[in-house]
Structure 1
Amino acid sequence: MRATPESGQVGAGGNRYAVLLRGINVGGHRGIRMADLRLLLEDLGYRDVVTYLQSGQAALTAADQDERAVQERVAAALAERFGTPVDVLVAGHAYLRSVIDQCPFPTADIEGKQLHAAFMNRRIDPAPLDRIESAAFAPEQCALGDRVLYLWLPDGIGRSTLAQAVLRRTVVGRDTVVTVRNWNTVTRLAQLTA
């Protein structure tokens, strides 16, 4: 069975997804151990659960569930178990592969900190991005893709003025959930969901 960008379907055994948690384990706040996340996902009945790094991402196999169903189920379970709401984004392998394949910036011989993907829960209106004077942020650049904003940040995201400008709620939208991952993480999640 061929995978579709939305489903991440890999065959009769289920759908393979990456689960991205927003804003956990950052600066000592909203701590969730990856062993606890893995256990929670397994308790929900997901198979082949693997966590990656400490910044809130996992890969899993879900039988007969689409991205939205996994997202809602995991978010509800996190809130119940850890007592705090956590924004969750879920992406199938085909979608992650398309994010990689459609990247407008060179990906060979880069450091992972130079290129980032800001994943979003929905498509955004490009007009606010178009109004940003990109020359003022050179050599930093950004480009909008399908539910993703590519950020080329040669010196990293930590002090990036472009990232601060384009990820504001007035640009991406007040109801948009955004979580950023560096390119090493993006490519690793694609591997883990293959």
Structure 2
Amino acid sequence: MKIYIALLRGINVSGQKKIKMIDLKAMLEGLRLTSVTTYIQSGNIVFKSEKKDTQILSDLIKNGISTRFGFDVPVLVLTPEILTNIYEENPFSDGLLSGEIEDKKMYFTLLSNPPDANAVAELMAKDFKEERFEITSKVVYFYAANGYGKTKLTNNFFEKKLKCDATTRNCKTVIKLLELSKLT
């Protein structure tokens, strides 16, 4: 059995696509996923599976949600190793350590596939004042200087500009998912 982390996009946000975590956990266990743990209400899951392919697991969960709850939700499945690498490669980590950057304003927009190179170049050439970000093939590291609630650089913004599905998590959630994946 291998440990995985699933990130669901857009559930339980503003009363949309409501899923109770107890129901989600039961549905996932019905798909033969084991040691299922959810974290907060926004679609963060740690689980074990005998399956080795993250895309197969992503499709399995997506189809299960569609069948059980009646709506489509983008699902990104990662290994703890990949999420650890993403966390450790954060170009803003020095700022986090020094206190220059508040961890509550640090976000990880995880991408479903590598973004369009021209779109990345175009976005990186623009000035967004005090908001800073770096884009890789797997993630947008984003520091929302004025807080995520006030930024125009939202998950939808990055999806539209980079032409790929994405889901955003704050630094605290990424750390907690990594901790949970070690306990599973």
Fold-level match, TM-score > 0.5? yes
Aligned mates of 1:149, 1:105 — CA distance in 2: 11
Contact kept, 8 Å, 2:109 with 2:155, in 1: the verdict is: no
Q: Which of 170, 173, 178 is matched with 1:190 structurally?
A: 178
Letter in 1 for 2:181: T
TM-score normalised according to structure 1 size: 0.84
Task: Output aligned runs, 1:25-64, within 5 Å.
Answer: 25-64=12-51
Alpha-carbon distance between aligned partners in 1 of 2:13 and 2:154, rounded to the nearest angstrom: 17
Distance 1:165 1:50, change over 3 A: closer
CA contact (8 A) 1:15 1:65 kept: yes
- Give 1:135 shift: 6.2
Q: Mark the CA change 1:30 to 1:166 in structure 2 (over 3 Å): closer, same or farther.
A: closer
Structure 1 stretches lacking a partner, 5+ long: 1-13
One-letter amino acid of the counterpart of residue 158, structure 1: G
1:178 is matched with: 166
Does 2:107 match 1:95?
Answer: no
In the alignment, the residues of structure 1 paired with residue 166 and residue 91 of structure 2 have an alpha-carbon distance, to the nearest angstrom, of: 20
**Structure 1 residues 127, 166: closer, same or farther in 2, change over 3 A?**
farther
Q: How many pairs align?
A: 178
Partner of 2:158 in structure 1? 167
Give me the whole-angstrom Cα distance separating, in 1, the residues matched to 2:70 and 2:157: 31
Deviates more, 1:177-186 or 1:151-160: 151-160
Equivalents in 2 of 1:79, 1:92: separation in Å? 23
Q: Which consecutive residues of structure 2, in runs of 5 or more, have no partner in the other structure?
A: none
State the percentage of identical aligned residues.
29
**Which residue is equivalent to 2:145?**
154
Partner Cα separation in structure 2 for residue 180 and residue 92 of structure 1: 17
Partner SS, residue 87 of structure 2: helix
State the AA in 2 paired with 1:186.
V
